[in-house]
């Protein structure tokens, strides 16, 4: 067993804590006053002896003098800093100040990295704060979180509780944020941060990331760029209200404070109870976001995502095809279609449950997870059997955290629902959110999955949806502790998900929230993938997938071919979905024979190219935000297989077309370049088709893949000879 040693290394009088990946140093120091300061965050220093040249106290002197105000590693309210703190505590006696002093630390190896713990303590109040960091050496990713515990006589109240705090001293800071809405997810926009605060937060509770996603980028030497420049890319593992605060202070330094949004959430902590913040996961890239994304993709596959290194199931879903309008025979036919198409699984969506209040539209039935008998007389068992007979797996949709007022569940347990007792109720999608802070409700929600799997062990997959934000915030269970609800509700969800993962570790699950309103690395410990958006118009999807790919590997991002934007070809729609975890949600009768043959071939190609697309390195080469085209490349880890996805969106008349220079290939390998995913009966018009080039040529000169046509795609496979 690995033993922990003190994290502090002594250099003369200096007490330094180095948190390092292969590329990045985060250096902290225990000052002479025993407080802990950040002295450095940036490219890894080559010479350890330089660590003692870093100063903890020089950063703030606005008049040229050396100030005693340093960058406190976890700044607290009431201290001499005067800017936004990470922690705010109201102590039992009403005092609202906290000063933290170094007590102890440890450092030990953990899989893939080094775990550093730093224990701090207030010198006047029995409050302990532990700063935790795991630095993943190879992936250049650090995750940080904090624990607060106290031994005061009565409750203390936390009014700020960030996961971590980071500081930068640069000439400019450029923030890229990811705003969102239904069918408009991961929309990227940038702005320069000036003096004062910029806050990105959400107060939606359950469908928490509907309007903004829990990740951001900061360009540290000018605006964020894809292939050059220093950039911080950070994301919070929290499936509820989050808040990122970016504050530029009086001397032009930036502090970044990620955490749970403490909005309406003063958290009352009992003596001995540990408050653990979510993990803040970040990477610093010195070669733009492209490298930063690859860092995060590698980290996610190895350490973040459920079954991150495993394979994924292609599927046929029925939501866009049938909506609520199906029966057992129709589903049995669709399962045969799934097999014919060549996918691994049929996924039954919404509308299969409820008897007293059948789920025939979105007004009733949520909460009553029993098959609608007159619609599906053979139950789930018959569906699993039909799937088996057709030679595909069977997956099923659930939305277990929600309830329609028109349901037996609501009739039985109105007190299980988040709802105001003394005000009019307002509904989002005609439904309400169950109170997951209540352990009885947790048992019930666990039971939704457990009952299905106990009765039908053949069920191979779940799509877990969450369509409503928390409305009418009030928990009958929390009584006079309403300030805990937003936080404890999310923790309740994790309790359920943990139980499911413990009992059914091998069942893959898709996280969905009215599209992509849940997309964070804490949830993804329990989910193999997430649904990026209900918007499957391929043109829109190119942007949406471009956005999410900044933080998530392709295998975590589900994308389906549907009939959204029928003005585009089936080939174009498929070629866009094939950049992610490929699925279909379209009736085969909508496809001509050629289109069907095309899809079958595209699925087979996608499966063959998984080492590149799912498990390789991604290079975003041509941005749809900056050009009238887009190009994304995937290279497998051995650089023997690569695939280039190239799209013409809306080129201008005779605009200049540039060759696309590839990246990540072996310059000395020879690659056979071949257009794949061609419609049957069509010839490739790609001039460089079936020719051989060195990696060097492909990376320096590139391929002429773009055209003047609108909404066209070209998929180029590169095979090392």
User: Which residue's entry shows tokens 């003692």?
Assistant: 52
In the complex, what is the shortest distance from the CB of residue 599 to ligand GLA, in angstroms, rounded to a whole number? Answer: 20
Does 113 participate in binding ligand GLA (rule CB under 6 A)?
no
Query: Within 554-583, which residues bind ligand GLA (CB under 6 A)?
Result: none
376/365 Cα distance (integer angstroms): 15
Q: How far is the CB of 366 from ligand GLA (least distance, A)?
A: 9
Q: Which is nearer to ligand GLA, 248 or 396 (CB)?
A: 396
> Given candidates 16, 60, 459, 512, which one binds ligand GLA under the rule CB under 6 A?
512
- Minimum Å gap between C-beta 181 and ligand GLA is 13
List CB contacts of 141: < 8 A, sequence separation 6 or more: 21, 135, 281, 282, 283, 295, 296, 299
Nearer to ligand GLA, 76 or 467 (CB): 467
> In 10 A of CB 124, how many CB atoms?
11
Nearer to ligand GLA, 41 or 313 (CB): 313
d(CA 675, CA 571) in angstroms, rounded, equals 13
With CB under 6 A as the contact rule, the residue among 249, 350, 520, 617 that binds ligand GLA is: 350
Residue 302: DSSP 8-state: I
Cβ proximity to ligand GLA: between 230 and 349 the closer is 349
CB of 571 to ligand GLA, least distance (A): 23
709, with CB counted inside 10 A (0-12, 13-18, 19+), is: exposed
Per-residue HEC secondary structure of 651-708 comes to CCCCCCCCCECCCCCCCCCEEEEEEECCCCCCCCCCCCCCEEEEHHHHHHCCECCCCC
Both structure tokens of 613: 């697309």
Q: Contact with ligand GLA (CB under 6 A): which of 514, 538, 553, 695?
A: 514
For ligand GLA, the closer of residues 333 and 534 by Cβ is: 534
Looking at the Cβ atoms of 100 and 512, the one nearer to ligand GLA is 512
Can you say how many angstroms the Cα of residue 294 is from the centroid of all Cα atoms in its chain?
14
Candidate list 265, 467, 610, 688; residue touching ligand GLA; CB under 6 A: 467
Q: Which of these segments, 18-26, 450-458, 469-477, 509-517, binds ligand GLA (CB under 6 A)?
A: 509-517
349 binds ligand GLA (CB under 6 A): yes
Give the 3-state secondary structure of residue 241: coil
CB of 117: closest distance to ligand GLA in angstroms? 40
Give min distance, CB of 511 to ligand GLA, in A.
11
Of the candidates 515, 547, 583, 695, which one interacts with ligand GLA according to CB under 6 A?
515
Q: In this structure, what token pair is assigned to residue 450?
A: 């457990």
| Segment contacting ligand GLA by CB under 6 A, of 122-130, 491-499, 511-519, 688-696 | 511-519
3-state secondary structure of 590: helix
Q: How far is the CB of 404 from ligand GLA (least distance, A)?
A: 12
The site map against ligand GLA for 157-176 (x = CB under 6 A) is --------------------
Please state the closest distance from residue 454 (CB atom) to ligand GLA, in A: 24
Which of 84, 226, 230, 465: binder of ligand GLA (CB under 6 A)? 465
Q: Does 215 bind ligand GLA (CB under 6 A)?
A: no
Residue 258 or 583 with smaller CB distance to ligand GLA? 583
Q: Which two tokens stand for residue 592?
A: 């001509």
Quote the least distance from Cβ 182 to ligand GLA, whole Å: 8
Range in contact with ligand GLA (rule: CB under 6 A) among 99-107, 257-265, 507-515, 573-581 = 507-515
**Cβ closer to ligand GLA: 261 or 404?**
404
Interatomic CA distance for residues 518 and 206, integer angstroms: 9
- Total residues interacting with ligand GLA, rule: CB under 6 A: 12
Residue (515 or 553) nearer to ligand GLA, CB: 515
Least separation in angstroms between residue 568's CB and ligand GLA is 20
On the 0-12 / 13-18 / 19+ scale of CB atoms within 10 A, 427 is middle
CB of 109 to ligand GLA, least distance (A): 41
- Considering beta carbons, is residue 134 or 511 the nearer one to ligand GLA? 511
Query: 128 vs 206, which CB is nearer to ligand GLA?
Result: 206
Tokens (6 digits) for 565: 């934007």
Task: Look at the block and give the residue holding tokens 């696309």.
Answer: 660
Piece of 446-454, 512-520, 548-556, 629-637 that binds ligand GLA (CB under 6 A): 512-520
Strand blocks (E) in 307-407:
315-317, 345-348, 393-398, 402-403
Q: Does 534 bind ligand GLA (CB under 6 A)?
A: yes
- Between residue 384 and residue 403, which ones bind ligand GLA under the rule CB under 6 A? 397
Reduce the DSSP state of residue 198 to 3 states and report it.
strand
Name residues whose C-beta falls within 8 Å of residue 80's C-beta, 6 or more positions apart in sequence: 68, 69
Q: Of 85 and 514, which CB lies nearer to ligand GLA in the complex structure?
A: 514
The minimum distance between CB 503 and ligand GLA, in angstroms, equals 24
CB of 539 to ligand GLA, least distance (A): 19
Please, which residues bridge with residue 461 across strands?
A: 395
Which residues 6+ apart lie within 8 Å of 348 measured at CB? Answer: 318, 331, 383, 394, 395, 396, 397
Closest distance of CB 120 from ligand GLA, Å: 43
Report d(CA 590, CA 598) in Å as an integer. Answer: 13
Q: Which residue is nearest to ligand GLA (CB)?
A: 350
Are the beta carbons of 545 and 579 closer than 8 angstroms?
yes
> To the nearest whole angstrom, how small is the minimum distance from the Cβ of residue 434 to ligand GLA?
17
Burial class (CB in 10 A: 0-12, 13-18, 19+), 340: middle
Residue among 523 and 718 whose Cβ is closer to ligand GLA? 523
Question: How deeply is 434 buried, as exposed, middle or buried, from its count of CB atoms within 10 A (0-12, 13-18, 19+)?
Answer: buried
Using the rule CB under 6 A, is 419 a contact of ligand GLA? no
Q: C-alpha distances in angstroms, 445 versus 316, 400, 469, 492?
A: 26, 6, 17, 10
Using the rule CB under 6 A, give the single segment among 192-200, 437-445, 508-516, 698-706 that binds ligand GLA.
508-516
Of 486 and 531, CB closest to ligand GLA:
531
For ligand GLA, the binding residues in 357-376 under the rule CB under 6 A are 362
* Cβ at position 552, least distance to ligand GLA in Å: 17
Is the CB of residue 551 less than 8 Å from the CB of residue 293?
A: yes
Contacts 24+ apart (CB under 8 A), 648-654: 648/706, 648/707, 648/708, 648/709, 648/710, 648/711, 648/712, 648/713, 649/539, 649/542, 649/624, 649/710, 649/711, 650/710, 650/711, 651/706, 651/707, 651/708, 651/709, 651/710, 652/628, 653/708, 654/708
Nearer to ligand GLA, 221 or 534 (CB): 534
> What are the φ/ψ torsions at residue 499 (nearest 5 degrees)?
-60, -40
Query: Taking the complex as a whole, how short is the minimal distance between the CB of residue 582 and ligand GLA, in angstroms?
Result: 16
Among 133, 161, 319, 494, binds ligand GLA (CB under 6 A): 319
Q: Is the dihedral of CA 435, 437, 440, 442 positive or negative?
A: positive
**Residue 518 vs 639, nearer CB to ligand GLA:** 518
Contact in structure between 705 and 640 (CB atoms under 8 Å): no
- Positions touching ligand GLA (CB under 6 A) are 319, 349-350, 362, 397, 465, 467, 512, 514-515, 531, 534
């Amino acid at each position: 067993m690995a033993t922990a040693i003190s994290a502090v290394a002594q250099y003369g009088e200096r007490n330094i804590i180095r948190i390092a990946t292969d590329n990045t140093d985060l250096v902290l120091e225990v000052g002479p006053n025993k407080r802990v300061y950040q002295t450095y965050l940036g490219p890894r220093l080559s010479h350890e002896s330089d660590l003692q040249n870093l100063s903890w106290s020089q950063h703030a002197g606005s008049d040229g003098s050396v100030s005693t105000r340093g960058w406190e590693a976890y700044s607290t309210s009431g201290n001499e800093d005067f800017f936004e703190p990470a922690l705010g505590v109201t102590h039992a006696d009403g005092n609202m100040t906290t000063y933290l002093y170094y007590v102890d630390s440890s450092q030990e190896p953990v899989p893939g990295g080094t775990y550093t713990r730093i224990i701090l303590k207030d010198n006047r109040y029995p409050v302990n704060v532990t700063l935790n960091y795991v630095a993943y050496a190879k992936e250049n990713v650090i995750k940080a979180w904090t624990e607060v515990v106290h031994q005061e006589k009565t409750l203390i109240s936390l009014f700020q509780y960030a996961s971590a705090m980071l500081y930068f001293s640069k000439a400019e800071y450029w923030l890229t944020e990811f705003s969102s809405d239904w069918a408009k997810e991961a929309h990227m926009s940038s702005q320069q941060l000036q003096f004062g605060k910029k806050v990105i937060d959400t107060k939606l509770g359950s469908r928490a990331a509907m309007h903004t996603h829990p990740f951001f980028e900061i360009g540290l030497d000018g605006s964020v760029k894809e292939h050059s420049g220093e950039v911080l890319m950070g994301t919070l593992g929290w499936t509820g209200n989050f808040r990122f605060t970016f504050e530029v202070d009086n001397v032009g330094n930036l502090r970044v404070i990620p955490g749970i949004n403490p909005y309406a959430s003063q958290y009352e902590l009992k003596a001995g109870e540990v408050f653990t913040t979510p993990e803040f996961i970040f990477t610093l890239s010195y070669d733009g976001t492209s490298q930063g994304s690859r860092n995060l993709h590698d980290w996610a596959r190895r350490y973040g995502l459920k079954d991150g290194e495993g394979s994924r199931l292609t599927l046929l879903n029925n939501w866009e095809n049938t909506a609520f309008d199906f029966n057992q025979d129709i589903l049995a036919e669709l399962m045969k279609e799934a097999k014919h198409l060549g996918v691994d699984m049929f996924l039954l969506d919404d509308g299969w449950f409820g008897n007293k209040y059948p789920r025939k539209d979105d007004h009733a039935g949520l909460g009553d997870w029993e098959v609608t008998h007159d619609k599906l007389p053979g139950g789930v068992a018959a569906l699993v059997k039909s799937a088996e007979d057709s030679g595909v797996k069977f997956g099923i949709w659930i939305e277990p955290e929600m309830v329609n007022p028109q349901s037996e569940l609501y009739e039985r347990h109105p007190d299980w629902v988040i709802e105001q007792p003394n005000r009019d109720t307002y509904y989002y999608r005609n439904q309400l959110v169950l109170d997951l802070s209540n352990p009885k409700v947790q048992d019930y929600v666990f039971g939704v999955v457990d009952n299905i799997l106990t009765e039908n062990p053949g069920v191979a997959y779940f799509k877990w949806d969450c369509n409503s934000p928390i409305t009418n915030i009030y928990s009958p269970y929390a009584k006079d502790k309403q300030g805990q609800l937003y936080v404890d509700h999310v923790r309740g969800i994790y309790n359920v998900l943990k139980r499911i993962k413990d009992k059914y570790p091998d069942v893959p699950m898709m996280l969905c929230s009215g599209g992509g309103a849940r997309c964070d690395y804490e949830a993804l410990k329990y989910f193999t993938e997430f649904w990026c958006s209900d918007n499957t118009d391929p043109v829109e999807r190119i942007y949406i997938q471009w956005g999410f790919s900044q933080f998530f590997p392709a295998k975590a991002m589900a994308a389906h071919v549907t009939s959204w934007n029928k003005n585009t070809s089936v080939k174009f729609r498929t070629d866009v979905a094939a950049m992610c975890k490929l699925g279909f949600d379209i009736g085969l009768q909508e496809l001509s024979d050629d289109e069907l043959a095309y899809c079958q071939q595209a699925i087979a190609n996608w499966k063959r190219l998984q080492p590149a697309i799912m498990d390789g390195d991604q290079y975003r080469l041509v941005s749809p935000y900056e050009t009238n085209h887009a190009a994304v490349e995937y290279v497998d880890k051995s650089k023997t297989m690569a695939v280039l996805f190239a799209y013409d969106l809306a080129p201008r008349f005779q605009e200049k077309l540039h060759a696309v220079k590839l990246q990540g290939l072996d310059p000395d390998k020879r690659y056979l370049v071949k257009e794949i995913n061609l419609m049957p009966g069509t010839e490739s018009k790609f001039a460089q088709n079936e020719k051989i080039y060195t990696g060097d040529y492909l990376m320096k000169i590139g391929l002429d893949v773009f055209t003047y046509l609108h909404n066209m795609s070209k998929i180029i496979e590169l095979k090392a000879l």
